[in-house]
Chains A and B, each alone.
Chain A
Amino acid sequence: MFSDYTATELGSIFAMQGFAGLILFAVFLLMALGLAIIFGQMGVINMAHGEFMILGAYMTYLTSNLFAEYLPGLFDAYFFVAIVVAFLASAALGAFVEWAMIRRLYHRPLDTLLATWGLSLLMQQSYRSIFGAREVGVRIPDWMAGSFPVTDIVELPINGLIVMIIAISVTFGVYLLMFKSSWGRRVRAVVQNRPMAGAVGINTVKVDRMTFALGCGIAGIAGSAFTMIGSTGPSAGQQYIVDTFLVVVFGGAASLLGTVASAFSISQAQSTMEFFLGGSMAKVLTLMTVVIILMVRPQGLFTLKVRK
């Protein structure tokens, strides 16, 4: 399949697809981070994760409309406000869901899966009733539109770059929070040994709620970032859920580094194959490879060694 192209063309193709893959990587990483916290740290399957992302996207949409209406002078900066709004809204809903539903199901992980699927249906239909069934797009500020020429055939879209910057900063933030803060130490303590963590005075109930809320909040940020590169519909969240779970599981559930590595390899594989095989076959082959690797190595790429 390479013989039809010259060497320079191939170089450009790989560069372009590599960059497209990097955007996809940022998308996967943002989606997977929240889930890696919720699933990796708490062992909770949140099938409504995609809907929390869409909540963030709709919050961004509302914020942009508010700015366009009342603060047109500050429109260029609305996106930063929107990210905060999206995070807070999703985290608040996450905390509520944890309180109302998830905490009753910690000992029944498979039932959590079904209950959160029900939640995702409720959220989808709510979006449809509130925002309408049609997809909505966000008007992005002028400085984010356009692209950034590197060579005469390779161009880098600015909104893609911004999504990438967000992904990297969120990853870094999660790293600091989980591994350098006292809160993160408490979360890791609860994950490794719940009764002992409780015995030394950690409020495990509160840690659970905060962890779940943080994971949902990051999903909200992800949704906010997605509005930069695509439009938002009520059922868009469902399309992400399989990819997201595979990224997290492939990386090794409790490992942040693993999540980054698996998001990178899956996105690059998919994006490079996409050029030669078309979207659906590329996706099939990528997912199939991941599933087969997971069958051979079920613990994923990186594992946390914990004595249970």
Chain B
Amino acid sequence: MSNFSLKNMMTRQDVLGFLVLAILLLVIMPLSMDIIRLTQFGKYLSFAFVAVGLVLCWGYGGILSLGQGVFYGLGGYALAMFLKLEASSPENTAIQSTPGIPDFMDWNRITELPWFWEPFNSFTFSVLAILIVPTIFAYFIGFAMFKRRVGGVYFAIITQAISAILTILIIGQQGYTGGVNGITDLRTLLGWNIRSDYASYVFYFVCVALLFVCLFIAQFITKSKLGRILVAMRGQEDRVRFSGYDVANFKIFVFCVGAAFAAVGGAMFTLQEKFMSPSFVGIVPSIEMVIFCAVGGRLSILGAVYGAIVVNVAKTYFGESFPELWLFAMGALFIGVVLAFPDGLAGVYQKYCAPTVDRFLDKAPVFKRYSGDSSYSPSEPAKAS
């Protein structure tokens, strides 16, 4: 990594893409929307974390996980459990038959806090749990599967089964998890009211900041040697193995990174929506997360963000105005993106807009000095508009 520099990490198109996205998310969106819409937009961004993770796993690593909802849910639940415990102080829950435990436990006649809830009294533990629990879980799944050279379709089916199992478990164990309603009625974070408009603005910007941290990590991974090995593995796994690399370890690593991103996204969802429920864990949401990534372009980390935004905006719009049409549109989207646009929005941008932008950049004085390689090849991440 001695030759590592900004120039090696980002082409000028990437720099422009990051700048445009930053301006869009940090300036245009907060100025053009009221706080309710902005929080909703923040929710879409929480899905963008998952989509960026999927670009790494699926686009680069060739590992299609249909269980990203599991990690999204684990991250979201970890934070929701902490917030719920804070909201269930003995004073707030004095009318319950057992004060001091979350209300849904009381409704299910549970009289003391279950052991696995205890550590979530600590804020530090909860924040660590958001990152560590899903990563460890992903590590175990990845270790068990990739070390035995299980991949592709089997991996997709097993991860899908895991997301189904977790959903059934959460819904079935109502007393411990809040059941199908999830964990609701969250009020404060370390004594600070999370329902005020001010808090909503803060959470939105925290969400955007964390998204950019994830984007930079993803950009680093794709441009580093690791990213190249991933691409090589996706193409010819055996050759990489015969070249002396332990293929499984790379896959496990990238799967864990994807899981951690998803978990952060889940936590951001909990913060902004003030609840978490199993409807973001199961098979349907997990596979929808894949479509965010596919629409954006499975090889483009910035595209994934736009994919998540576009699909969710469309979902909200159609879902509100023409609920009948939405499933048709979604179904057509899945089929169309696979058959007609396998590179998604990023592919469209790369084909029609990138050359023009490149010519423009040649003239722009700021970028004169910074003439990184702008040629596009399938192994390079493309950028969406």
What is A's interface to B at a CB cutoff of 8 Å? 43, 45, 101, 104-105, 108-115, 117-125, 128-129, 238, 241-242, 245-246, 249, 278-281, 283-284, 287-288, 290-291, 294-296, 298
Contacts and interface: CB of A to CB of B under 8 A. Distances in A.
B169 interface: yes
Given A105-B338, A280-B169, A280-B172, A122 B332 contact: yes
B338 A125 contact: no
Given A109-B152, A110-B64, A122-B327, A284 B338 contact: no
15 contacts: A109-B152, A113-B156, A114-B290, A117-B334, A118-B335, A119-B334, A119-B335, A121-B328, A122-B327, A125-B324, A242-B160, A284-B169, A284-B172, A290-B161, A295-B158
Given A113-B156, A114-B334, A291 B165 contact: yes
B165 to A, nearest CB: 5
Contacts of B156: 45, 110, 113
A125 B161 contact: no
Contacts of A123: 331
Nearest to A294: B158
Interface string B152-164: 1110111011101
Contact of A121 (B158, B161, B171, B327): B327
Contact of A110 (B144, B152, B172): B152
Contacts of A119: 331, 334-335
B342 A122 contact: no
A111 B145 contact: no
Most chain A CB inside 10 Å of its own CB: which residue of B64, B158, B327, B333: B327
B1 interface: no
A238 B149 CA distance: 29
Contacts of B160: 242, 245
A124 B329 CA distance: 12
A67 B284 CA distance: 37
Interface of B: 58, 64, 66, 141, 144-145, 148-150, 152-154, 156-158, 160-162, 164-165, 168-169, 171-172, 283-284, 287, 290-291, 294, 324, 327-328, 330-339, 342
Contacts of B153: 43, 45, 109-110, 113
B154 A121 contact: no
B171 A280 contact: yes
B158 A291 contact: yes
Contacts of B64: 110, 113
B335 A238 contact: no
A118 B333 contact: yes
A117 B154 contact: no
Contacts of A125: 324, 327-328, 331
A284 B168 contact: yes
Given A114-B291, A295-B145, A298-B145, A287 B334 contact: no
B318 to A, nearest CB: 12
B294 A114 contact: yes
B161 A287 contact: yes
Given A43-B153, A249-B157, A283 B168 contact: yes
Given A121-B331, A245-B160, A290-B161, 6 more contacts: A110-B64, A111-B342, A118-B336, A291-B165, A295-B150, A296-B144
B165 A287 contact: yes
Chain A to chain B: the 8 pairs with minimum beta-carbon distance, closest first: A118-B334, A280-B172, A121-B331, A122-B331, A125-B327, A295-B144, A118-B335, A298-B150
Contact of A115 (B158, B165, B335): B335
B157 A246 contact: yes
A269 to B, nearest CB: 14
Contacts of A121: 327-328, 330-331, 334
Nearest to B290: A114
Contacts of B141: 295
Nearest to A44: B153
Given A245-B161, A284-B168, A111 B338 contact: yes
A113 B152 CA distance: 11
B46 to A, nearest CB: 22
Nearest to B150: A298
Of the listed residues B161, B324, B342, the one surrounded by the most CB atoms of chain A closer than 10 A to its CB is: B161
A139 to B, nearest CB: 29
Given A287-B161, A287-B165, A278 B150 contact: no
A42 to B, nearest CB: 12
Contact of B283 (A122, A129, A238): A238
A128 B154 CA distance: 31
Nearest to B172: A280
A291 B148 contact: no
Contacts of B334: 114-115, 117-119, 121
Nearest to B145: A295
Contacts of B149: 298
- Specify which of A111, A117, A119, A295 lies most central, judged by the most chain B CB atoms within 10 Å of its CB: A117
Contacts of B327: 121-122, 124-125, 128
A242 B283 contact: yes
Contacts of B162: 291
Contacts of A290: 161
Nearest to B159: A291
B158 to A, nearest CB: 6
A281 B172 contact: yes
Nearest to B143: A295
Greatest chain B CB density within 10 A among A119, A245, A246 is at A245
A105 B342 CA distance: 11
Contacts of B287: 114, 117
Contacts of A111: 338, 342
Given A109-B153, A110-B64, A295-B145, A242 B330 contact: no
B73 to A, nearest CB: 15
B61 to A, nearest CB: 12
A288 B335 contact: no
Given A109-B152, A281-B172, A288 B338 contact: no
Contacts of B294: 114
A172 B364 CA distance: 73
Contacts of A45: 153, 156-157
A298 B154 contact: yes
